[in-house]
Amino acid sequence: MPTVYVAHHQQDIAQVVVARLRAAFGAASVAHSSIKLPPGDDARKAAAKYAARADMVLVLIGPEWAQRIAQAPQNDLVGIATAYALRYEKRIIPVVLPGGRMPTADQLPQQMRDLAYVTPFHLNDTENDIVRLVALLQSNAQPQARPRTEARPTPTETVIYRSEPLPRVTSPLDIFLWPLRFIWWLLKRIAGTISWLVQLIVAQAIRSAVGCIITILIVAVIGGLILWFVVTFLQQDLNATMAISQMVDSVRQILQGLQGLRNLQPPTIPTP
């Protein structure tokens, strides 16, 4: 909830403004110049503190406001609060009351001259203008939309698993080389999976010890299943490779046999 400080001299209308603001923002969020302080507190320091900590500062300007500030700028609570609000670049709104006039820069002390260049709010019709003033403060108090930031990936999301496609047969020679290429592809996939699992364990260990233990158990079970599958598959694949090798040997023997039969044919005798 934003905090509002009302810097005012003793005007009856100031109490009405403070009451409306407290109804809109809550009593704890609105302070003013005539607030009751604990015994022993310095009212000047309290005015400076409230103005410096407030989100918005209203400066109520009534008749002869500038003259009252000029008489004792170091002790006037309104002047002190206004100077601190300007010094800390607070959202400051001069509220010109009936009979009051917005001061010029030469009518103000050095530390308050920037107030002359702030656009004032004129409060003429007490009932309607206070409603507009409260609405203005509420619109200024609306939180600005924060820029959207891209979600940062978690440690587990940064682990990108990349795999290569299965080797394809593009030539007759690949028919014989495919088992070896497949075994090489499978070994690379296994190495990539192990690397990904190691990174996952490290990421979980960074988060919590319990998560690390659970991840290690899951990885152990999955690793055992993968190892069993690989051993079984390699045994079958080696059997297939041996069968292919035997087939190649058979084809080679057939070709050699055909070549031998060709050599056994009798030579052609030329006719005279």
Tell me, yes or no, if the pTM score tops 0.85. no
Confirm if 59 and 92 have CB atoms less than 8 A apart: yes
CATH number of 4-141, picked from 3.30.1540.10, 3.40.50.10140, 3.30.1490.190, 3.30.70.890: 3.40.50.10140
Domain boundaries, the chain: 4-141, 172-264
The first and second tokens of residue 141, run together, are 């108090």
The list of the chain residues with pLDDT below 50 reads 144-161, 265, 269-272
pLDDT for residue 243 = 60
d(C-alpha 169, C-alpha 255), whole Å:
25
pLDDT digits (tens, 9 = 90+) for 128-161: 899 999 999 888 765 544 444 444 444 444 444 4
pLDDT for residue 34 = 84
pLDDT for residue 241 = 59
| Residue 159 CB coordination number (10 Å) | 16
pLDDT for residue 163 = 53
pLDDT for residue 148 = 45
pLDDT for residue 146 = 45
| Residue 272 CB coordination number (10 Å) | 3
pLDDT for residue 158 = 44
